[in-house]
Structure 1
Amino acid sequence: MTPPHAQPAKNPNRGASYSTLLRVAGPVLLGSLTQSIIYLTESLFVGRLGEVSLAAIGMGGLLFYLLTTVGAGLGLALQVVVARRMAQGRPGAARRQFAAAGHLALLLSGGLAVLLWLLAPPLSAALLPTPAAAAQVARYLRVVSLAVPASFGWLWLVGLYTGLGQTRLIPWSALGITVANILGSYAWIGGGFGAPRLGIAGAAWATVLSEGVGFVVLLVGLLWPAQAGLGGWLRKWRWHRRATRRLLRFAGPVVLQQVVEVSSWLAFFVLVGQLGIRALALSNIARSLYTFASLPALALAAALQTLVSRYVGQGRQAAVLPTVRRATVLAALLGLGPALALLAVPAQLAGWFSDEPALAAASVPLLRLLAGLLLAFSAGTMLSNAVVGVGGSDRALGMEVGATATYLLAAWGTVHLGLPLAAVWATEFAYWNLLGVLGWRYLRRGRWQPLH
């Protein structure tokens, strides 16, 4: 019998509450705004240069995003590993794997930046349907290759901050990135503030500036820490072979999963390009709004990944599924607002990107379709991220490959049947539904792999 003044013990298997999920996801949401703000800002400013430029920035932004996805996957893996090691009371192991991730980020970003600069012209010519669009993409990629190292550095540090649960500085870095990108885009794309009018190359220079600002803000937070738990992470910087090998064993599938996911976007845009420049321009508008509207779910997914990794590290496996359920419900609720806006005022939203009334009118069926896609995305992304969080990075990669192959095959079929652009985009339902079903089946079985 419980004593009259005693507090009942909290159920350790209940999982994270809605308020806990929101508290962890809030700063991550602001941090997630960075890449989306960059992509959205560039599309908004470049769209005023014409339909060809709008199509070109969509493809160029995807190619840059594809490279930085390697850094994002590395950061996600570091986030899970750090959360698990700290929950196990092994801060030394967490520090060694943080250093290993830093060395990998430096090596990979330098190599990929050089590769992007060298391959920009032939790659653009191979992917774009017209020489004019290809030339603009090549100009963009040559400049934006300079932003790759800073982007990797920022993602590496975000992985550490999020894994530690010390996310207060992430919103400030996001604010720095956002302000720098907006000011840079205004100055260099259209010639604002008396700056030279560089067109699509100006968008790339704005990205270089903003990625550098974001990295410096988080680096300063480690050099002069204001939060407990952030001190000393940069003191021991030597390479650890065993830590690197262990990190790669877990990070490899995570990175490949991220690359496969973004590569599917690139392949999808190449397929859409067969329908013409207008279809590419419309798809860039749709992707810009889709990416921005999905930010709450992406932030919740990052929070969920950290929380379930922590629960498994603490031996609280029974808390995982309740947390996943709450995160999925919360993501769907947060997606309702953007979905209603896409249903209610699609032409007005498209008008932000172009002065051409015909382009805005043509986007209406596509943007209304996105409202439904947002809800499917909310469930699918929660479940796939939870699989990674419990240590199933190999399984998550297999799920990603299977869902991507199904979705791209369906998209190829709709393009070659001559169906409308909205029908091509509707194939995304197959991707997210399959990913969600496979993720839920894996989580229900509970046969999760420990991180050694």
Structure 2
Amino acid sequence: MLGSAVQNLLALTDSIFLYHLTEVDFAAIGFVGVFYLVIAAIGYGFSKGGQIIIARRMGEANPERVGRAFYAMLYFELMLAVAMFLFMYFGASWFFAAIVNSQAVYDKSLEYLSFRSWGVFASYAGVAIIALYTGVARTRFIMYDTVLLATVNIVLNYSLIFGHFGMPAMGIAGAGLASTIAEYVALAAFAIYMLGDRKARTYHLFRLPDIDWKLIRNLFRLSVPMVAQAIVGLGSWFLFFGFIENMGERPLAISNLGRIVYLVLSIPSWGYAAGVNTLVSSFIGMNKRQAVVPIIRKTAGLCWANTLLLALPVVLFPETLLYPLFGGTDMSLVTEARPLLWLLLLILSLFSIGGVFFNGLAGTGATMTGLKLQAACAVGYLVYTWLVVEYWHLGLLWAWAAEVWYWLAIIVVSLWFLKSKQWYRLRF
């Protein structure tokens, strides 16, 4: 629903349409889609730092300082977007050649990025605006804007992938172009909303400040651990799909289907996680630290219940409930994915709890501690996956079980840190 969930929504839409093109396209988008999620997560990680600062200023009853924090975040995001674009535009071919075995997956991945890379500017500016409105706890228009983005992306995917409505049939490249255009449309809509937002004046958003390098350094210091967390977390996910790609195009396609189900059913968890981040920071700003852990526990319980309510019917009746997305004359991929869906039910249950607890930890400002804990969990995740896939050759389900161990570890270390109360001493 918020921030990185927007990128998950775009990746989901691209994957669903490409499922109906060819299996190679579907396998490739599963791989390159995770790569772009890593790029997007870097910008999202820096916006999380800005969100924490903005929420803290609101908790301190200093709304006039919100605008300066927002523009420091926006300036930095745009500078970072230039660097990411140059990397994708000039370095992607070398990077993918080093890790991809299938020539078809390699070619399709570069086709997608040739258009998708241009969306990084809208993506990074968009997460800055989302961080602003999430930080001041006014998220209603984010939902409307997300619906607009999804609608535009669906229409353009249908048009540009298959060549409808007079558009060229561009295949996977059309999916990249559709997602990029959708992001710019959503960004323009949010900018128009901001111009008409009367409350925005109390944040001093219409007074364009000079670049505040001191504030940017503070934002950078706070955000770097969260960016590193995103790289560690999604980077591990990307390497996981790299291991799966080495197993062949069919296992990669099955895993991409599982990833889509994972993304859809985890959307509530992303929303709860973003919300608890703001709540924790705000309550600390109001000097109510004793309320932090109870808030995180209640949020995790609600998140788990909602996730289970959505996930259980899909696991029990996949051919029926997934038919609108993956229906056709050949449903063999869905049938082969059935065992994976049962495993996903356990993974989603753990993720719904672990994601909330870990984002609650980040909301305390203990981002460096969070990075160290997540890095340790990610190392174990990758070692396990490598052993299962490359050394023991145990198969797809054993590989996906890495997610179970990862989220169990995240829950344990997050609970340990929150109960230790070390975060009581943090100031920024």
Q: Would you call these one fold, judging by a TM-score over 0.5? A: yes
In the aligned structure 2, how far is the partner of 1:318 from the partner of 1:231? 29
Normalising by structure 1, report the TM-score.
0.90
1:401 paired residue number: 375
In the aligned structure 2, how far is the partner of 1:242 from the partner of 1:418? 51
Q: What value does the CA root-mean-square deviation take over the aligned residues?
A: 1.7
| CA displacement at 1:373 relative to structure 2 | 0.7
1:450 paired residue number: 426
In the aligned structure 2, how far is the partner of 1:234 from the partner of 1:418? 58
Q: Does 1:441 align with 2:416?
A: yes
- CA separation of 1:292 and 1:226: change in aligned 2, threshold 3 A: farther
SS at structure 2 position matched to 1:156? helix
| CA displacement at 1:220 relative to structure 2 | 1.7
Residue 64 of structure 2 contacts residue 204 of structure 2 at CA under 8 Å; is this kept in 1? no
Residue 166 of structure 1 contacts residue 227 of structure 1 at CA under 8 Å; is this kept in 2? no
Residue 43 of structure 1 contacts residue 54 of structure 1 at CA under 8 Å; is this kept in 2? yes
| CA displacement at 1:124 relative to structure 2 | 2.7
CA-to-partner distance for each residue in 1:70-113, whole Å, 9 max, x for gaps? 11111111111100012113334432221111111010001111
Q: Aligned to 2:20, which of 48, 68, 73?
A: 48
Q: For 2:351, give the aligned amino acid.
A: F
Q: For 2:377, give the aligned amino acid.
A: A
Normalising by structure 2, report the TM-score.
0.95
Q: Answer 1 or 2: which has greater helix percent.
A: 2
SS at structure 1 position matched to 2:393? coil
Q: For 1:329, give the aligned amino acid.
A: G
Matches within 5 A, 1:409-428: 409-415=383-389, 416-428=391-403
Q: Aligned to 1:353, which of 319, 323, 326?
A: 326
In the aligned structure 1, how far is the partner of 2:128 from the partner of 2:2? 17
SS at structure 2 position matched to 1:165? coil
Residue 77 of structure 1 contacts residue 254 of structure 1 at CA under 8 Å; is this kept in 2? yes
In the aligned structure 2, how far is the partner of 1:120 from the partner of 1:30? 27
Q: For 1:337, give the aligned amino acid.
A: L
Q: Aligned to 1:375, which of 315, 331, 349?
A: 349
**Who wins on radius of gyration, i.e. which is larger?**
1
CA-to-partner distance for each residue in 1:342-392, whole Å, 9 max, x for gaps? 321234456533743332221111111101111010111111101110111
| CA displacement at 1:223 relative to structure 2 | 2.1
| CA displacement at 1:31 relative to structure 2 | 6.7
| CA displacement at 1:146 relative to structure 2 | 0.4
- CA separation of 1:229 and 1:285: change in aligned 2, threshold 3 A: farther
In the aligned structure 2, how far is the partner of 1:192 from the partner of 1:294? 31
1:76 paired residue number: 48
Q: Aligned to 1:387, which of 352, 361, 375?
A: 361
2:112 paired residue number: 140
In the aligned structure 2, how far is the partner of 1:338 from the partner of 1:219? 33
Q: Aligned to 2:244, which of 272, 296, 311?
A: 272
Number of positions where the alignment pairs a residue of Structure 1 with one of Structure 2: 424
Residue 173 of structure 1 contacts residue 213 of structure 1 at CA under 8 Å; is this kept in 2? no
| CA displacement at 1:35 relative to structure 2 | 2.1
Residue 116 of structure 2 contacts residue 176 of structure 2 at CA under 8 Å; is this kept in 1? yes
- CA separation of 1:231 and 1:241: change in aligned 2, threshold 3 A: closer
| CA displacement at 1:289 relative to structure 2 | 1.0
5+ long unaligned stretches in structure 2: none
5+ long unaligned stretches in structure 1: 1-28
| CA displacement at 1:114 relative to structure 2 | 1.7
Between 331-340 and 217-226, report the one with greater CA deviation.
Answer: 217-226
